[in-house]
Structure formats: structure tokens, C-alpha cells
Amino acid sequence: MRTVNNFINGEFQPGVDQRRFDKVSPVSGEVIASIAEAGKADVDQAVRAAKTALDGEWGLLSPEQRVELLYEVADEITHRFEDFVEAEMADTGQPSHVMRHVFIPRGAANFKVFADVIKNVPTESFMTTTPDGAGALNYALRVPKGVIGVISPWNAPFLLMTWKVGPALACGNTVVVKPSEETPLTAALLGEVMNKVGIPKGVYNVVNGFGPESAGAYLTEHPMVDAITFTGETRTGTAIMKAAAEGTRDVSFEMGGKNAGIVFADADFDAAVDGIFRSAFLNSGQVCLGTERVYVERPIFEKFVLALKQKAEAVNYGAPLEQGVNYGPLISKEHQEKVLSYYRKAVEEGATVVTGGGVPQMPEALLGGNWIQPTIWTGLSDDATVVREEIFGPCCHIRPFDSEQEVIGLANNTEYGLSTTVWTTNLSRAHRVAAKIDVGITWVNSWFLRDLRTPFGGTKQSGIGREGGVHSLEFYTETRNICIKL
């Protein structure tokens, strides 16, 4: 069994209080690691180490030197690729191919992409007239914001953690990371990488634990944390925002979603079925950008429901390294029960269960895992619980629509605004509909296709701010103006 400690000031530490908690395999239910829980003193030590590094060796490096080091971080992640894949599979239970082709490569890429951004980003300069005619030069400088508190989720832990750590370090900040208690392994591995390539002590710190009265609360309440970036559920984001109000710290939040998928009758049918299947069931539905509401134009509604049903019933359950497995468990027993409660609620409210709705039969070795069936419903009204509330599981409700105007209203009828996917071969329609959906990102004839230079974030209760490319710099730097009288 692994032993995972907090990573503070370049060293792995068990914590002042020596408290620990178990990491349980989502696949089998077995305890696979013992994790050190950071107390208030540990978090304080980590924040102070980050502040010392900011004012010391790390703060003295030029942007070019930071870029070189971040490239080395990315290269070392690639060198230890199998270690990261294995750790992420152990944490999440998801299939090997997802780790190998999406989560770990993206995690490494986040360091190179943001290193390139900071290397190439321009700043403003203006020549200003003055009464004496001599003029003045105004120019802008980007400076690090300071110590960044990074609170990352469990559904794509390495990818989403480095999505924040990469730009934060590229901009010259230091970080204290609080990974989810469900997925601590790759955050610890990254500490080893940081030491190997020579990132100064205190630049990257990891404190493990929970939210209230644990590492999460201690980090967000610490007065020396200058800004907080968070990915997770909206309720937690609200609590963090209250803590950040003390000291008027900046926040960047990517939170919940109840995303719509829109399929017009003229869509490439097979591509649309494949795309909605992927957006509803990838990572066992545990994707903030996933599709839980599907709207299909009436002429192809019945055909589409049947095709999606057939794909959902053909998934291969199993441990991450088993041959042919393409579908893993939920992250925890608690989350499994939450999703199953929504499955029961859908039936109580009159849903037609097209497929799924329960727990699959599994071999004895996997009975302790958090398995659940991909589930499709039809027949519910727009105010049904499973149509309104984010479930974060492998499920979707499908309803027919008759007009473009109607489906735009249906898609926007939610308190969330993270993403939408639209399937049509009509280019004019694609532009019209995409412009009218109140979300941060709309995909047309695709899903989860990301250019890391583009703005990413949500509207309404799905988040605050934008990250990606130069947009990340707006959060991770302060812009100063310098005026030189000539």
C-alpha cells in the first residue's frame, strides 16, 4: 500500500498532527493508499514557503528561465508517463486509454502551452501628449499575483490541476495545491518531478485533506493567499467565495453544468450519436462539460433514442487495464449513492427508462467497486429534478423539439451555462444557434475539442472568469502602468 505525504517546501511531510486517511480504489473498494491530512499548521507552513519562494529565488528568475524550467517539467512528466498513467488509473478507476490519450498528455501540455504564452504575450504602450509638448510614455508590466491557492477536482485530477498550476507558475506565481481527497496521487508525483528538474523549494506545494475544518478551508481562509482558483461544484464555490471576500482576494471558478446537446434532423446521424454518447458517458459521466440534457429534432427522435440505447448497452465494464474496457466506475460510494438517488427520482417523477437505471452485474473481484449503468430517460417535463439538477453521472434525458427557436429556449432554460454541443450540417444554422446559447463554449459537430489558447469558463452559476491562453494571464498576473515623462 502506498504512503502519500504532503509536499511542502520541496519535502514530503507527514504533517504536524500525523493524521491520515485512506484512499479507496473505485474499482474494487480496497484501500490502496494512506494519505497524510494537512492540519492548519501544515497549510500555514506551505503558504509561508510559497511566499518565501515568491520573494526569493523563484522571484528573481527571468521569464525565459521560468519557461525553460517549465519545459523541463513537461518533459519529465513525459519521461515518467507510465507512473502518471498508473497513478491516475488507481485514483479514478477509469480505462487506460483515457489516461494515455487525454488526461496525462494534456497535463504535460499545460506546462508547455502556458510557457509559450508568457514568452510571447505583448503588453500595451502609448505615447501621450503633455501641455509642454514633450510627451510621456505609458507602458504596462505584467507581474505575478502572488501565492495562488489551487483547489482541484477528482474527475480529471491531473489535467485540471495542471491547467491551473501551469499558467500560475509561467506567470511567476507560487502555488499551494489542495487536490481532491479522492485523487491525491498525481499531485504528489508532480512534486517529485518539480524536485527532479530543479524548481526552487516552495514554488509548488501540496496539502492533502478535505474541505470544511480541513486543508481546503485552511487554505482559502489564509490571509497570505493572494488568489484562489477552483474547479468543482457550485455549492463549494460559493463557500470559497465567501472566504475569499476576507482580504478581497481574486477568484477564478469553473463550477457546475447542466449542459445541453442539440441534434438537428440534418445532422450527420452516426457522428451525432457517437458525439452525444461520448459527451454523456465519457469518464462515466463525471465530466463538467458532459451532456445530461439532449434535444433531438422530432423527425429523427425515435431513431436517435434507439441508436444511443444500443451504444450505451454495449459498454465494456472492468478494471482499467483489462482488454477492451471502455467504461469505469464512479469515484466513490458516496457519489454512487448520489447518482442512484437521481435514478430513483427519475422513475418517481414518471420517466421512461430507455436503458440502465441501476448497478450492473460485476465479477466477484470487482463487487466492491462503484459501478453504475449508463442510463437514458425520455418522457419528463422541463421542471423534472433530473432535467434541472446536475447529476454528474452517466445519464441523460432526451426530448424532441420542433423548431430552432424552441430548442434555443430549452437549452437556455437552466441556471447553469458551461457548454453546449450542436449537431447540424447547416452552417448558417450552426452560427445562429451557437451565438444564442448562453454558455461559455459551444461545440458544433464535436465535443471536448479544445485549443488551449482559447477562453474557457462558464456563465451564470457555472463559474467566474476565463482561463486559457492569454485569458489566464488576466487572473494570474496584475497589470501595472508606468508613466515616464519625457
- Catalytic residue ranges: 254, 288
- Of 314, 309, 340, 341, nearest in space to 326 by CA: 314
Helix 63-79 / helix 157-170 crossing angle, nearest 10 deg: 160
Rounded Cα gap, residues 111 and 69, in angstroms:
10
Q: By three-state DSSP, how is residue 292 classified?
A: strand
The two beta strands, 227-231 and 250-254, are: parallel
- Of 244, 219, 189, nearest in space to 73 by CA: 189
- Residue 60 sits at φ, ψ, to 5 deg, of -85, -10
Classify each residue of 82-112 as buried b or exposed e, where b means 16 or more C-beta atoms within 10 Å of its C-beta: ebbbbbbbbbbbbbbebbbebbbbbbbbbbb
The two beta strands, 477-485 and 136-144, are: antiparallel
| 8 A C-beta contact, residue 34 and residue 188 | no
- Residue 74 sits at φ, ψ, to 5 deg, of -60, -40
Please give the grid coordinates belonging to residue 181: 481527497
Rounded Cα gap, residues 381 and 394, in angstroms:
20
Rounded Cα gap, residues 42 and 9, in angstroms:
11
Ordered alpha helix ranges (H), 121-262: 157-170, 185-197, 215-221, 234-245
